[in-house]
Amino acid sequence: MKDYIIIGAGQSGLAIAYYLSKQKANYLLVDANAEIGAPWLKRWDSLKLFTPSEFNSLPGLKFPHKKGHYADKYEVADYLKKYVSKFNIPVEFNQKITSLKKENGVFTLKSETATFEAKNVIIATGPFHKPFTPNCHTKISKDVLQIHSEHYKSPDQLQEGATLVVGAGDSGVQILNEVSKTNRTVYFSGNTDIVSLPQEFLGKTLWWWFSKTGFLSANKYSWIGKKLSNSGQPVIGTDVKTLFKKENITCVGRTIDANEEAIIFEKQKVNDIKNIVWATGFKPNFNWIDGIELDEHHYPKNYRGVSDMEGLFFVGLPWLYTRGSATLGGVKKDAKYLCNYISKKEKDSHK
């Protein structure tokens, strides 16, 4: 029996583990992967953070690169491994929790191979659970190679011939940019009216300006926070207007339907596509938690990570409290708040 079990050994789980360690709490971290940093290492090879090093530190350990450096996925994974080693964080790997239930004041967590018990559970599985692909993907010929961005590594995976990239977020734009450099015909499906921001402005990083203007600290319950959380996420570091003007890129609007080799878009029908990269995001999945209430976006109802279920907490969700809540450098504020809340509750219960 543990006082706390943290589910998920990414940046959110490690940040909360750091604060629990400082409180000398009896806790364990369980993770579905075989090693620390695995979700980062699974992403595409050329991935770069759009936050500079000085904004990427977890509590207690500075991100080990010079100011203004934009780390790749290998550097992030290496940093997380060093973090676990430095603070001697206990992790059980290869434990994908498939059910969580509370009975008689005790949480029971089950994986395929083990059962765990805890008085409190902190879920730090992040916002990316089930890859989302539009239903029409099942109507496309098997001769067309289809990859979700979760499994995309590099253009070397692709067949010869025209490639479609679907999705107007950071992933979609970065992958579109990379694939377009192979000089093949590339189609882009998605919103082209994207706000894109440079990584640096007037000699300062964009994130320096964000921190100075309060963009990162506005909470989701404030007027500005409500506006920001309901608006589209800007693309950072890629000039999308210039990208969309490249000779080998054709913007075709939303993907409407498909019939074997023919794929129908808002603007035209295309028959020569040999590859599709679906950068269409993920859907949350919290169905394995018994008795939890979800909001309209299918995330657990909570206030700053404190759920309606006594002893169940969340960290690392998008807009848990601010825009930075699900980021490498931003999660520490939520983790600290949550640990302070838990510590105060413990002290009050012993009075």
Whole-number pLDDT of residue 325: 86
Q: Which domains does the chain have, with CATH numbers?
A: 2-129+284-349 (3.50.50.60), 131-195+232-278 (3.50.50.60)
Confidence band for 345, pLDDT divided at 50, 70 and 90: confident
SS3 of residue 59 by DSSP: coil
Please state, in angstroms and rounded to a whole number, the distance separating the CA atoms of residues 328 and 11.
Answer: 6
The 10s digit of each residue's pLDDT in 69-122 is 999 999 999 999 999 999 999 999 999 999 999 999 999 999 999 999 999 999
Closest alpha carbon to 5 in 125, 112, 126, 119: 119
The 10s digit of each residue's pLDDT in 259-273 is 999 999 999 999 999
Please state, in angstroms and rounded to a whole number, the distance separating the CA atoms of residues 11 and 329.
Answer: 9
Report which listed range, 172-176, 201-205, 317-321, 323-327, is most confident: 172-176
Going by DSSP bridges, is the β-strand pair 302-303/282-283 parallel, antiparallel, or unpaired? unpaired
Mean pLDDT of 201-221: 66
Confidence band for 253, pLDDT divided at 50, 70 and 90: very high
The 10s digit of each residue's pLDDT in 170-179 is 899 999 999 9
Confidence band for 290, pLDDT divided at 50, 70 and 90: very high
Hey, how many other C-beta atoms are within 10 angstroms of the C-beta on 240?
Answer: 19
Confidence band for 186, pLDDT divided at 50, 70 and 90: very high
